[in-house]
Amino acid sequence: MIDEDALRGALLRVRELVDAACVVSGRPPGSAEIVIAGKYAAPTESQALVRAGARVIGENRLQDLIAKQEAIADSVMFDFIGHLQTRKVRDVRPRVRLIHSVDRLPLIEEIARRATGRTRGLLQVNVAREESKAGFDPVDLDRALDTAARSGVTVGGFMALPPVTRDPEASRPWFDRVRELRDRLAGSWSGEHDLRDLSLGTSQDFVVAVEAGATMVRIGRGIVEHTRMEQP
């Protein structure tokens, strides 16, 4: 069970840190969004997230997305932040504001096929070219952007996961690289894609991510797991 007072305090503290990092990066407070990674909270705890001030919840699995939407109805917005199987696009797409993890060409095409009108998503970039991670190789982004443009999908930016590390500063060069890719591609694709969002950073490195230019951070473990009450 979540301690709601502790959760509210944790969310406020994260908001303060995110806003301070926005200022460091030359942006106004509030210009980076906190997406709560829902996998760390059970569906029965969803109401607690809403009461504590969560505004966007990011889910990794369709079944969890459905369960939480049934629990809290229209109280928050939902994003999809996990690996998405092509066959589940039909069920996921109408339920979410944004898919952060568009990681392959067939997925772009399926999202377009299931959309009513032009739709928007983020391309997942395998910025360090790790074999264990999904996402587009940086050199393939132009092809992905072209496929999206022809399919009717507006790419709103990029999502990335840097190599695992305990040192947040070790993630900074990777976040900088994603921002540089975005900046380089934004001009040539301005007529087709807005590329304004960078979904970077999780509980251990979100401050560095925002300082590097993230407009969205995905935080769950650092908020939810640390506010659980001991069961009697």
Length of the chain: 232
Q: What is the DSSP letter of 56?
A: E
* 183 burial via Cβ count (<10 Å: 0-12, 13-18, 19+): exposed
pLDDT band at 231 (very low <50, low <70, confident <90, very high): very low
Stated pTM of the model: 0.94
Helices 141-151 and 105-114, packing angle to 10 deg: 20
- Torsion over CA: 199, 11, 65, 61 (sign): positive
76 backbone φψ class: left, alpha, beta (φ>0; ψ -120 to 50): beta
- The amino acid sitting at 4 is E
Number of alpha carbons in the 13 Å side-chain half-sphere of residue 178 = 34
**pLDDT at position 232:** 41
Write the pLDDT tens digit of every residue in 5-47.
999 999 999 999 999 999 999 999 999 999 999 988 888 888 8
Q: Are strands 216-219 and 98-102 parallel, antiparallel or unpaired?
A: unpaired
**pLDDT at position 225:** 66
Which one, of 88, 97, 104, 151, lies nearest residue 121 by Cα?
Answer: 97
Question: Which domains are present in the chain?
Answer: 4-227 (3.20.20.10)
